[in-house]
């Protein structure tokens, strides 16, 4: 790998999971490799205190405009860390390159053993960038918009009281579909189809498919099937007036309490999240690898 002078002032923003010793060592290895190659590193001061970092690493106190002047966001951690990185990627418009230091890591493009490859690709800028759909989410009460949010994976309307079901009515494009008691309803992008929606029995949707998903969770109803709609659809979940309060979760990170009678509307987001890709492998291969799916007996196209 050829070294580059720091005078080029190429900078990447690093978001890291620092909760485990093995993750700390991987992040430190990544930082050293990038610095040696002439890439400046910037990260949050709250994360830097847990790392043994050399001089020359820039730290910032908060995330607002933290990635200004950077060319890439590197995220090293599990699914939660990758979703945290997606917030900064969306706000900054920068591509995000995920390195999985957790278990599944569907948003990640590299694994712990790929750190040297990651450094080389970042230095040479040999990665592709793709855009992923997001969701724009709003909450209405008595017809007034009281909250706005967004999600990369999903927005979920969930019960708040463990002992009681949430009574809801679902809607697609201004028309009612069904009402039922449930633990919740997941409104998902194709990216989120392998996350919470998958756990609820929803279909796996290839990332290049443009669609929205509605997946009821533990619904008490004869018809409570997962729905796949147009990307131009508007999905809504209304909390029935005489039901306990619910809660809205966006990517499992941001929550908002939903009073009885609240209405949650979800539509395709105006701002996508950009992901940096190192591999051109089919999504089928990623699915098999991440879920350790059995494929013994497959003989390939030539056998057909």
Is residue 199 part of an annotated ligand binding site? Answer: yes
How many distinct structural domains can be found in the chain?
Answer: 2
Q: Which residues pair with 76 in a beta bridge?
A: 16, 99
Looking at the fold, whether 167 and 263 belong to one and the same domain comes out as yes
**Domain membership flag for residue 16:** yes
Q: pLDDT tens, 28-74?
A: 999 999 999 999 999 999 888 888 888 879 999 988 889 999 999 99
Host domain of residue 139: 135-268
Is residue 80 part of an annotated ligand binding site? Answer: yes
Q: The domain that contains 281 carries what CATH number? A: 3.40.50.10330
Looking at the fold, whether 26 and 95 belong to one and the same domain comes out as yes
Looking at the fold, whether 262 and 156 belong to one and the same domain comes out as yes
Q: What is the mean pLDDT of each run of 10 residues along the chain (304 residues)?
A: 54 88 86 93 90 86 90 93 95 95 85 92 95 97 96 96 89 97 97 95 96 96 93 97 92 96 97 93 90 91 58
Looking at the fold, whether 53 and 125 belong to one and the same domain comes out as yes
Is residue 284 part of an annotated ligand binding site? Answer: no
Q: pLDDT tens, 123-140?
A: 999 999 999 999 999 999
Positions annotated as catalytic residues are 79
**Domain membership flag for residue 302:** no
Closest to 100 measured CA to CA, from 90, 89, 119, 113: 113
Is residue 136 part of an annotated ligand binding site? Answer: no
Q: What is the pLDDT of residue 161?
A: 78
Exposure string for 168-179, b = 16+ CB within 10 A, e = fewer: bebbbeeeebbb
Looking at the fold, whether 45 and 126 belong to one and the same domain comes out as yes
């Amino acid at each position: 790998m050829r070294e580059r002078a720091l005078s080029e002032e190429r900078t990447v923003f690093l978001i890291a999971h620092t909760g485990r010793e093995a993750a700390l060592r991987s992040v430190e290895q990544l930082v050293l490799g990038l610095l040696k190659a002439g890439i400046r590193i910037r990260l949050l001061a709250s994360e830097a205190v847990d790392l043994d970092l050399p001089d020359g690493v820039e730290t910032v106190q908060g995330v607002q405009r933290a990635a200004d002047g950077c060319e890439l966001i590197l995220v090293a951690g599990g699914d939660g860390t990758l979703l945290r990185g997606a917030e900064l990627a969306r706000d900054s418009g920068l591509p995000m390159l995920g390195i999985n230091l957790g278990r599944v890591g569907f948003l990640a493009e590299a694994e712990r053993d790929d750190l040297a490859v990651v450094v080389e690709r970042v230095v040479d800028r040999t990665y592709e960038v793709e855009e992923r759909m997001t969701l724009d989410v709003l909450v209405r009460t008595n017809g007034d918009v009281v909250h706005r949010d967004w999600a990369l994976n999903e927005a979920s309307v969930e019960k708040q009281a463990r002992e009681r079901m949430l009574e809801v009515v679902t809607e697609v494009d201004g028309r009612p579909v069904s009402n039922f008691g449930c633990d919740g309803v997941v409104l998902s992008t194709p990216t989120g189809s392998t996350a919470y929606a998958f756990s609820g029995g929803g279909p796996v949707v290839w990332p290049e498919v443009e669609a929205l998903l509605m997946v009821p969770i533990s619904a008490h109803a004869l018809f409570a099937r997962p729905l796949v709609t147009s990307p131009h659809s508007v999905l809504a979940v209304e909390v029935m007036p005489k039901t306990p309060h619910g809660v809205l979760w966006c990517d499992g990170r941001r929550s908002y309490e939903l009073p009885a009678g609240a209405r949650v509307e979800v539509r395709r987001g105006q701002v996508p999240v950009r992901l940096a890709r190192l591999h051109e492998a089919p999504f089928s291969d990623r699915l098999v690898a991440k879920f350790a799916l059995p494929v013994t007996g497959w003989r390939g196209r030539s056998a057909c």
